[in-house]
Structure 1
């Protein structure tokens, strides 16, 4: 999964700064005792940051669709081998970012919990043997299911940490609006999380019974009108609950149009 070029450039700039801070022995935004080097063996820390300096490999939905159209054993093994190498890189990028957030956000217990989830998943992937057979691939898929479940609550736990910071800033008469680094980090972090979840989820889904009009997770006949309508229904329900009224919304376009 890849962002637009301008967004990628912005994310890359921020990430480069995070790596610089992470590799500095004299500066850290995490309180001593909570830094990665304080809770993880040095060899693991070194492995994490060496992977964090590697470039992520972009994967398009078109490629995933074509690759998963005929999920034979050979295809699944190749997919597992790719994920075995790629996922540690992506997870390491997230760890480096979480370790070096501004305004003390990295020291929040919720953020530390998320960081440690990513470190644990990184360690499990790095410790897994090279995938050479169908049996290896099946074991690796079980590991991916475990990792997928572990990270299911990342969004609400991250939100808790940010909410704590927001309340503190309000007391200090400050605002997250004045802190673009936090917004930039969250945009990039959640975008990257979506990419990781889709890569893992797609591989897992190819092991499950096929669904009509689907290749793994990818719906081959997605209706943008229906997607919009679902979002409208959710938003209107929230408005009704909070304010007692909600606006009517009209969707224009061909209701029969679909695409993968």
Structure 2
């Protein structure tokens, strides 16, 4: 992130281009309330905040984007919530109140750094307007001094979380439509930074809300299994079995008469470790969905009996490694170079069409049902596993592996795929244990 002086120097250059912008862009005003944001999210009208004056001459955005976000690790998140007090809840609230607009300003600056024609794309401009609205709303919230202040702040955070449910499909559709306007690697890097930052903000927000709810329920609560979103004893094999049940049910709802391969476990099946369980479920769920879909297609093509999927779990000193080995035919060679790309690939336009049919899609899949609960006046968080069934396997989105890669790397892990076309795939998911690499994975500048 550049310094304030660098941003102002850039501003002087960019401002001279204002005369060449469309009249609509020069004269547009700023968004005044979130209802306008919600309406435009489903319209073809470019948002009003994407104007040259707002876009390049906003002093508050320059001020916040010049700040550095403060680092937070998974270990810190877990140990902060071990013993809660009024003072710690208020401290957490003010940390979130200051961090969220700083991190959002960084991402708004990323959008400003793209060619202006890209940000005028309806999908990208919708995201820009939504980010600006959230940035402005949170930065104006007064300093939190009491538990009552924090309750109002949590209500605001829940509302903003619900408003952001359509960000991911909007971003993906936007970068696909703009793929020919800029280098695809640059657009993939843009998506990477946007989504990493989104994860960090949602972790901070969800963790604070969860700690608040636990404290209000019982001020003397002492966690034994989890602190907020961090589970101390994630069972590797149980997570895989849970995701297997749902992915299998989802696939069979479409391919009713096709048998799916069973899972066979080997290795350290009793392994337990600390992690954000929703993130792990998402990654494992996407891997199994891909496996079952490929298996059903191979069975339809050949009619051959399906070999079991071998799930190997290895508990190493610093990592837990999952290996999923199938014999579902592997990945077509024309797809392999684009396996980790959000932008390019021979099926990008099919993905774009499918994204239009998914108005609310979440990377952490519980968010859709959480927003529905909010709309019904409920505050309880609903398990991510139930909302997996809201997405049909007929909608090929092509984002499961790229998103899983971002989630794995976010906490110091990684994911890799080895494919033999005509035979099968090995997918390796390496999870960093709490207190090792994840201790040093700092959520700053993301």
Question: What TM-score do the two structures reach when normalised by structure 1?
Answer: 0.76
Greater fraction helix: 1
| 1:121 partnered with 2:134 | yes
C-alpha change, 1:71 and 1:165, in structure 2 (3 Å) is same
Deviation sequence 1:116-160 (CA, Å, 0-9, x none): 111111111122111111111111111111111111221111111
Match of 2:188 in 1: 183
C-alpha change, 1:107 and 1:21, in structure 2 (3 Å) is farther
Using the TM superposition, name which of 218-227 and 134-143 deviates more.
Answer: 218-227
Match of 1:3 in 2: none
Match of 1:200 in 2: 205
Match of 2:288 in 1: 233
2:167 pairs, out of 145, 154, 167, with 154
In 1, the alpha carbon distance for the partners of 2:8 and 2:200 equals: 21
C-alpha change, 1:182 and 1:21, in structure 2 (3 Å) is farther
Unaligned runs of 5+ in 2: 26-47, 215-220, 241-279, 321-430, 435-446
In 2, the alpha carbon distance for the partners of 1:191 and 1:127 equals: 25
Match of 1:214 in 2: 226
Cα RMSD over matched residues? 3.6
Conserved 8 A contact 2:86-2:147: yes
Q: How far 1:62 sits from its partner (Å)?
A: 0.6
Q: How far 1:193 sits from its partner (Å)?
A: 0.9
Task: Map residues 1-260 of structure 1 onto 2, 5 A cutoff.
Answer: 12=1, 21=10, 24-27=14-17, 32=22, 33=25, 36-38=50-52, 40=54, 45-102=58-115, 104-166=117-179, 169=180, 178-209=183-214, 213-225=225-237, 226=240, 227=280, 229-240=284-295, 244=300, 249-254=309-314
Q: How far 1:222 sits from its partner (Å)?
A: 2.3
Aligned length: 237
Deviation sequence 1:25-48 (CA, Å, 0-9, x none): 1247x95416645575998x2111
C-alpha change, 1:184 and 1:134, in structure 2 (3 Å) is same
User: Which is greater in Rg?
Assistant: 2
Q: How far 1:100 sits from its partner (Å)?
A: 2.7
In 1, the alpha carbon distance for the partners of 2:291 and 2:141 equals: 46
Greater fraction strand: 2
Unaligned runs of 5+ in 1: 1-11
Using the TM superposition, name which of 106-115 and 200-209 deviates more.
Answer: 200-209
C-alpha change, 1:62 and 1:20, in structure 2 (3 Å) is farther
Conserved 8 A contact 1:18-1:96: no
C-alpha change, 1:22 and 1:235, in structure 2 (3 Å) is farther
Q: How far 1:236 sits from its partner (Å)?
A: 1.7
C-alpha change, 1:99 and 1:93, in structure 2 (3 Å) is same
C-alpha change, 1:39 and 1:221, in structure 2 (3 Å) is farther
Question: What TM-score do the two structures reach when normalised by structure 2?
Answer: 0.46
Conserved 8 A contact 1:68-1:206: yes
C-alpha change, 1:38 and 1:25, in structure 2 (3 Å) is closer
Q: 2:311 is paired with a residue of what secondary structure?
A: coil
C-alpha change, 1:113 and 1:229, in structure 2 (3 Å) is closer
C-alpha change, 1:163 and 1:240, in structure 2 (3 Å) is farther
In 2, the alpha carbon distance for the partners of 1:229 and 1:130 equals: 40
Conserved 8 A contact 1:148-1:201: no
